[in-house]
């Protein structure tokens, strides 16, 4: 094999001088790549943040990241001790008749630990009248819908009767709430666990994980610890949310591809112009003895240097913007106030992922190189005189 004619260092040096000294073209083209990459990094982080917000809202309101039914009371400490678990909220439930004068309704009565619920979940924030129950208080917390059906106002006494013949109890309505989510607004009522007539030693639990821990991965990792328990992740008990997030991923993927296509076409075309305007110089260099593949390598180096620098700056700027907005959040409450997936907060915190950092730069460089392909092929295939004549 014959040795290469000139060193890569020489080609890199020439490419750098070209990009550096054609500073006006470089600046315009770099600004285009920079803006596109920065915007796409931020957009993709925003999409991830929107999905995060939906999950955070949906699990944070009441259910937690993982729920379990028929869990023996003795197992709860085990769950609490698993690394990554922030809170475990025990909940007891049994069907009951609620009665106020002539009005009665069949609901699931849920015994809760009010102090823990206020720490971990956000149901108490959805109070529309009165307040959330307090520990050891003989009170009941009703949805606005149920209170209307029973014609109960805050301060009224509600009679609770069970089908199994347990003695009837009386609880005072301490507050009403509205979430906009049907399974929480209809057919359910809450009272402190201390006054809940327990039906046995099993309970349901809501497990809240530490920030940033993926529920599915957590379950897989701790399968041995949770064996025998009927635990489900949010994606299993909220398939609608899972589907919506998957749909978001797909639609955001399509949007990103379309945006990339449009931006990339622009980048490719701009690069063709950038290279072709100086095509004559490649003809001159060929006449002086630069080999065809060296000319192609030089074009590729120029494009890589320019897109590489612009992409890196764009990624850093996009990431900085994400870091800034990720700290304070973007308040979109006015667009989400009627949306059941944003019941707690409409604030979105953009978040970077590996793909949102790498993909925009990668595609900008790829399409920049694709833009350089035609001039490269032209320089390789044409004789010096043809290159000089064609411009």
Check residue 286 for interaction with other proteins (CB under 8 A). yes
CA 228 – CA 223 distance, rounded (Å): 9
CA 123 – CA 126 distance, rounded (Å): 5
From the CB of 289, what's the least distance to other proteins, in Å? 3
CA 209 – CA 387 distance, rounded (Å): 65
Neighbours of 224 (CB within 10 A): 6
Stretch that binds other proteins, among 189-197, 253-261, 283-291, 353-361 (CB under 8 A): 283-291
* Helix/strand/coil (H/E/C) assignment for every residue in 253-287: HHHHHHHHHHHHHHHHHHHHHHHHCCHHHHHHHHH
Stretch that binds other proteins, among 1-9, 93-101, 184-192, 308-316 (CB under 8 A): 1-9
From the CB of 287, what's the least distance to other proteins, in Å? 5
Check residue 10 for interaction with other proteins (CB under 8 A). yes
Check residue 289 for interaction with other proteins (CB under 8 A). yes
282 vs 351, which CB is nearer to other proteins? 282
From the CB of 18, what's the least distance to other proteins, in Å? 5
Among 257, 320, 385, 391, binds other proteins (CB under 8 A): 385
Tokens of 154: 């805050």
Chain positions 155 to 174 lying near other proteins, rule: CB under 8 A, are none
293 vs 355, which CB is nearer to other proteins? 293
Beta strands 230-233 and 85-100 are unpaired
Check residue 384 for interaction with other proteins (CB under 8 A). yes
Among 18, 141, 325, 349, binds other proteins (CB under 8 A): 18
Contact, 189 vs 172, CB < 8 A? no
Residues 6+ apart with CB under 8 A from 208: 59, 60, 64, 65, 85, 86, 87, 88, 89, 120, 121
CA 186 – CA 182 distance, rounded (Å): 6
- Per-residue binding letters, 327-366, with other proteins (x by CB under 8 A): ----------------------------------------
Angle made by CA atoms 231, 71, 178, in degrees to the nearest 5: 75
- Per-residue binding letters, 194-213, with other proteins (x by CB under 8 A): --------------------
* DSSP-derived secondary structure for 170-186: EEEEEEEE--S-HHHHS
Contacts with other proteins, residue ranges (CB under 8 A): 2, 5-6, 10, 17-18, 20-22, 278, 280-281, 284-292, 294, 383-385, 388
């Amino acid at each position: 094999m014959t040795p290469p004619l000139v060193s890569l260092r020489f080609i890199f040096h020439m490419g750098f001088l070209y990009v550096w000294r054609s500073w006006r073209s470089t600046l315009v083209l770099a600004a285009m790549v920079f803006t596109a990459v920065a915007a796409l990094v931020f957009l993709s982080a925003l999409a991830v943040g929107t999905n995060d917000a939906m999950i955070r809202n949906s699990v944070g309101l009441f259910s937690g990241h993982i729920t379990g039914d028929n869990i023996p009371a003795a197992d709860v400490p085990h769950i609490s001790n698993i690394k990554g678990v922030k809170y475990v909220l025990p909940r007891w439930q049994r069907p009951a008749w609620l009665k106020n004068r002539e009005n009665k309704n069949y609901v699931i009565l849920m015994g809760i630990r009010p102090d823990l619920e206020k720490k971990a979940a956000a149901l108490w924030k959805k109070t529309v009248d009165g307040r959330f129950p307090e520990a050891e208080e003989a009170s009941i917390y009703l949805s606005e819908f149920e209170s209307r059906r029973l014609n109960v106002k805050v301060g009224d006494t509600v009679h609770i009767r069970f089908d199994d013949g347990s003695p009837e109890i009386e609880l005072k309505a301490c507050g009403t709430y509205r979430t906009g989510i049907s399974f929480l607004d209809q057919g359910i009522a809450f009272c402190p666990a201390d006054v809940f007539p327990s039906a046995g030693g099993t309970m349901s639990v809501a497990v809240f994980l530490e920030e940033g821990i993926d529920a599915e991965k957590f379950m897989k990792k701790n399968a041995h610890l949770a064996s025998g328990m009927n635990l489900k992740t949010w994606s299993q008990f909220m398939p609608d949310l899972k589907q919506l997030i998957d749909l978001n991923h797909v639609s955001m993927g399509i949007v990103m591809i379309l945006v990339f296509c449009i931006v990339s076409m622009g980048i490719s075309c701009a690069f063709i112009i950038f290279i072709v305007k100086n095509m004559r110089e490649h003809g001159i260099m060929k006449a002086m003895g630069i080999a065809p593949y060296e000319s192609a390598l030089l074009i590729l180096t120029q494009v890589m240097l320019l897109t590489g620098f612009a992409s890196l700056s764009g990624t850093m700027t996009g990431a900085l913007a994400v870091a800034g907005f990720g700290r304070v959040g973007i308040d979109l409450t006015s667009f989400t106030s009627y949306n059941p997936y944003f019941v707690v907060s409409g604030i979105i915190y953009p978040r970077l992922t590996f793909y949102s950092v790498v993909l925009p730069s990668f595609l900008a460089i790829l399409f920049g190189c694709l833009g350089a392909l035609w001039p490269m092929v032209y320089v390789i295939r044409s004789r010096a005189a043809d290159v000089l004549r064609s411009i």
